[in-house]
């Protein structure tokens, strides 16, 4: 009776609100990757120019030996000027060397139309918004060791068998067909606090790929220590707003969202990227508001100090079937 009454009350008070109680909000996978919007153009660097065709991961003989490498290099946009020493904005990738065949491959996951384009919505003349935020995996022949060694990292993390690689390759195709969009930001309550949203970028791909390799049998060299870049935002508990249809129905809200994104519309040059990140900083610092887009839905972030911060912290190499790093450890 008491229990039923409580349950009834719960229904009355809980059902009418949108109650988000799982943090970080799980990244949504989609049944398939949609056609790419032709409005979204990459500009200088096309996506995966020398890559293999979709869903054609290499396959190896079960007993081949394959060396796995962790690769890091400064993000293209940040190579210019003397920014390199100040910020660790690194791009992460994975290298595979088949010792038996001599073939090697580079596997990376990144934005289809470059970082800045992909971080903010594009607002059009008629005030509609377009998101050019797809991210995807790219595998191509060879490892450009010089590129990764200079100012970056090139380190062996495991030896695996062809059989382990083939299982992993199937996963890469599944992951690529269901995880379709890139997310630049990680959102936290405070530094070392509760995570509201996890980023979904090149580094998170490498982390989940390494975890997958461990799950299907790879043994990582636990002495290798690797740090990963995060671009963090800090806010009080995010407020769910809804998908585009829902926010469009509220004119005042929709105007606020488009006004916010209009501030980040210069996609011309790489040098501008930093300027605009600084503008973003002022925007959220002054007005303490950020309209955040995740799983193709909008959230309001009541921003708070320190607002935005770059971190470059260590994440240990995985052990088989361990929980993904952020579930039990926050950084």
Ligand X SMILES: *[C@@H]1O[C@H](CO)[C@@H](O)[C@H](O)[C@H]1NC(C)=O
Binding site for ligand X (CB under 6 A): 33, 40-41, 43-44, 48, 51, 54-55, 57, 79, 84, 88, 113-114, 117, 122, 124, 126, 128, 132, 136-139, 147, 150-151, 156, 172-173, 176, 215, 217, 221, 223-224, 227, 242-243, 245-246, 250, 252-253, 256, 267-268, 312-314, 320-321
- C-beta closer to ligand X: residue 91 or 122: 122
Question: CA 147, 69, 54, 32 torsion: positive or negative?
Answer: negative
Q: Roughly what angle, to the nearest 10 degrees, separates helices 162-178 and 202-215? A: 140
CB closest to ligand X, residue no: 43
Q: Shortest distance, CB of residue 1 to ligand X, whole angstroms? A: 35
Catalytic residue, from 88, 91, 122, 276: name it. 91
CA geometry: angle 309, 324, 148, nearest 5 deg: 60
3-state secondary structure 207-263: HHHHHHHHHCCCCCCCCCCCEEEEEEEEECCCEEEECHHHHHCCHHHHHHHHHHHHC
Nearer to ligand X, 20 or 55 (CB): 55
91 is catalytic: yes
Do 322 and 331 touch, CB atoms closer than 8 A? no
List the catalytic residue out of 40, 118, 132, 202: 202
Minimum gap (Å) between residue 57 Cβ and ligand X: 6
Residue 61 or residue 255: which is nearer to ligand X going by CB?
Answer: 255
48 and 140 Cβ atoms separated by less than 8 Å: yes
* Helix or strand (DSSP H, E) at 137: strand 135-141
Q: Is 202 a catalytic residue?
A: yes
In the complex with ligand X, the residue whose CB is nearer, 6 or 222, is: 222
Q: Which residues are catalytic?
A: 91, 202
């Amino acid at each position: 009776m008491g229990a039923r009454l409580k349950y009834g009350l719960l229904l009355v008070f809980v059902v009418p609100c949108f109650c988000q109680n799982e943090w970080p909000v799980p990244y949504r996978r989609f049944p398939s990757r949609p056609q790419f919007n032709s409005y979204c153009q990459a500009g200088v660097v096309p996506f995966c120019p020398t890559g293999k065709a979709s869903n054609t991961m290499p396959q190896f003989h079960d007993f081949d030996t394959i060396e796995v490498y962790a690769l890091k290099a400064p993000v293209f946009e940040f190579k210019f000027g003397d920014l390199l020493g100040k910020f660790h904005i690194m791009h992460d990738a994975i290298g595979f060397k088949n010792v038996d065949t001599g073939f090697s491959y580079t596997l990376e996951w990144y934005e289809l139309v470059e970082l800045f384009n992909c971080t903010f919505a594009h607002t059009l003349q008629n005030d509609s918004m377009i998101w050019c935020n797809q991210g995807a995996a790219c595998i191509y022949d060879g490892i450009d060791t010089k590129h990764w060694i200079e100012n970056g990292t090139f380190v062996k993390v495991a030896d695996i068998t062809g059989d382990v690689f083939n299982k992993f390759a199937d996963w890469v195709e599944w992951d690529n067909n269901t995880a379709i969009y890139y997310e630049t930001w990680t959102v936290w309550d405070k530094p070392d606090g509760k995570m509201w949203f996890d980023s979904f970028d090149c580094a998170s791909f490498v982390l989940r790929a390494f975890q997958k390799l461990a799950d299907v049998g790879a043994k990582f060299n636990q002495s290798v220590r690797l740090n990963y870049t995060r671009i963090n935002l800090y806010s009080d508990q995010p407020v769910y707003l809804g998908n585009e249809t829902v926010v469009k129905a509220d004119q005042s809200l929709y105007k606020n969202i488009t006004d916010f994104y209009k501030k980040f519309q210069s996609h011309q040059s790489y040098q501008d990227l930093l300027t605009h990140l600084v503008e973003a900083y002022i925007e959220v610092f002054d007005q303490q508001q950020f309209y955040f887009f995740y799983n193709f839905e909008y959230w309001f972030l009541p921003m708070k100090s320190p607002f935005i911060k770059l971190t470059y912290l260590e994440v240990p190499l995985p052990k088989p079937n361990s929980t993904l790093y952020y579930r039990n450890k926050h950084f």
